[in-house]
A and B are shown apart, each in its own frame.
Chain A
Amino acid sequence: MLIIKNLHTSVNGKKVLNGLDLQIHAGEVHAIMGPNGSGKSTLSAVLVGNPAYKITEGEIFFEGQNLLSFLPEERSYLGIFLSFQYPIELPGVSMVNFMRTAINEHRRYKGEKPLTSVDFLKKIKKTQSIVQLGEDLINRSVNEGFSGGEKKRNEIFQMAMFSPKLSILDETDSGLDIDALRIVADGINKLKSTNNAIIIITHYKRLLDYICPDLVHILYNGRIIKTGDLSLALELEKKGYDWLKL
């Protein structure tokens, strides 16, 4: 599904990724761990086409297509979704309007008619229950005044609305209490299938206890330096990152 070859990127003149390789198949869950500043968020930003990040070398293929030639909105239509590490507040843009505009753009891309208001509200209702996002949040401006946990749940809510093929969850578990973590993890598990893939970026094993990854990668100084299974996450939690340094 996703093939990243020898990816080099820079942001604001700073080199961040230095020859990153990664392959992900449909149905897989990959965890990416690594110290702060190692380039995890940069990788996710590059995948969704954030224009601030420049690709200096390398290629990315998504389902056989050259991903780098697509605009951010087009990547969304292709089925790529990023749960932002820091979700953005959009004061004055209502959740309903935001979601309806986005969903209908997706439908237009597929050549489908826009959803009627009734069908749209039905879809919202159905999706809401997956992450237990309250009615009051749906009626507010996007993320405005949401607590940290609510923002993360809102990201998973949006993920559920789009049913993406590839979801990248950038520290979605950070700042969640135990209950919220379980809700989010349950939500993600419900959305998991053999047709889609998930990249979980995290510092902690606790989310991986709920969603078992097929592979765990360690990103260090802009490259994947080690890949293993869940036991690698366990080892990291015990020893930290220091032992990886040569």
Chain B
Amino acid sequence: MKRYIDLFREKKIIIDRFCNPLLNFFRKKAFENFQKFLFCYNSKDYNNTHITAFLGIGKMEFEELLKVKIDPHIVFCCGIPYLNSYIQHFVLNGYCLSYKIKKYEQKKSFNFFSGSLNKFAEQYPNVFLKYYNKQSDFKGDILSAFNTMFIQDGYVLYIPKNVIVEDPIQLNSMISWNVNLLVNKRILIILEERAQAKLFVCDHTINNESFFSFVQVVEIYLEKQAVFDFYELEKNTKKTIRLTQSFVSQMDGSKLTTSTITLNNFITQNKYIVDLNSECAESNIHGLTIIDEKQKIDNFVVINHNAPKCSSNSIHKYVLDDESVGSFSGKITVANNACKTKAYQSNRNILSSDTCQMYSNPQLEINVDNVDCSHGASTGYLDELALFYMRSRGIPNNDANYLLKLAFISDILKEIKMKELKNQLQLLVNKYFKKKLTKC
């Protein structure tokens, strides 16, 4: 980690040259934080992934990354769900490309912003300053400081007051490079009062030869009564390390639904910190992990009920096979003024082999009476009785297995409100389970 102090000092001028001054403004403080964190850094905070090692895997590049272009048609060949939405964005190695599909260009004017972080800082400096890095600085750790120091571009979705965007927006966030690479990614989402939008982000690494790792910071701000659906699919190569921190801040009556789906990766760490800051905010944080071989994933979900009458619902499911390792840590904290809180947290896992491992640690911390909170976790093999019941009706063992796994994850897919995405994910998952069956 220490070498990044020198690297930052050495490269700062180059980084600054390509970025908007407002973006550069935040680097100094982040650099100070980074050094502070480094001093008291405790690798125990991450029980299963040792981030320091991963950050060392790839080299960082700066100006060279800007020159790469990508053909979207090639991208969709690799099984990325393609939504027929009217906005398709591409982020390549952290840079937001200006490529848009035709349908998008036909629409004349937009009453919202969807595009590059640098461009956003230029067009909406006041909004940028109001939100950018606010949560990351306050709730973040060494990784978010690292990200803010080195970040060069990212994606912004900004929906002003009262604007409702019906069509889903798709962001294809890719990494492609011919040697090992370390990338910073950034997503900033702002929905002002009563704004509504749906975003689907697909994470995808293209080169099978190189190791990639990336550090991503996502900041989500939902003002009063804003409604936001956020779906993330990780479909990286089995040589990709993803370290993501997502910070959510919700105001009165706002509603967030998010699903994070992990299918292909090497090592993943997803950390969600959600703050329900005023009354009647609702947060649904879902996760689905289907992994095998030597894949690894850590999901952390922290939900802070800071105001009365908010509700949160966190459901995480894992299907593990081979020697994969899964981990879930959840923490719900109900503040002493947050009466009438409704909080539900569940983590359920299926082990498909004797060699996979699952660590589950759901926690509740309640500091007030009059709340409705519950949590639960279960880990086990597929139900023998259920399998036998199906076989006794003539469904062969493998198919019974397949049906039970699909059934297990069905409630997570059901929650996905983008119909097209839901169907395509269903197909992806079906294919995955089928493939597993023919292997054994």
Contacts and interface: CB of A to CB of B under 8 A. Distances in A.
Interface in A48-97: 48-52, 71-73, 75-77, 81-82, 84, 87-93, 97
Given A88-B386, A105-B396, A93 B407 contact: yes
B393 interface: yes
A141 B408 CA distance: 12
B137 interface: no
Given A90-B404, A92-B408, A93-B407, A72 B392 contact: yes
B65 interface: no
Contact of A105 (B395, B407, B410): B395
**Main SS of the interface on chain B?**
helix
A48 B388 CA distance: 10
A82 B388 CA distance: 12
B141 interface: no
Contact of A76 (B393, B397, B403): B393
Interface of B: 383-386, 388-397, 399, 403-404, 406-408, 410-411
Given A92-B408, A93-B390, 20 more contacts: A49-B392, A50-B392, A72-B388, A73-B393, A73-B396, A76-B391, A76-B394, A81-B392, A88-B388, A88-B389, A90-B407, A93-B403, A93-B404, A93-B406, A98-B395, A103-B394, A105-B394, A106-B394, A158-B393, A162-B394
Given A51-B388, A87-B389, A92 B411 contact: yes
Contacts of B390: 90, 93, 98, 102
Contact of A84 (B389, B391, B404): B389
A72 B387 CA distance: 11
A102 B395 contact: yes
B435 to A, nearest CB: 19
A129 interface: no
Given A90-B389, A90-B390, A73 B397 contact: yes
A51 B389 CA distance: 12
Contacts of A75: 392
Nearest to A107: B394
Contacts of A89: 386
A184 to B, nearest CB: 19
In this complex, the member of B396, B399, B406, B408 whose beta carbon has the largest number of chain A beta carbons within 10 angstroms is B396
A231 interface: no
Contact of B407 (A51, A76, A81, A92): A92
A101 interface: yes
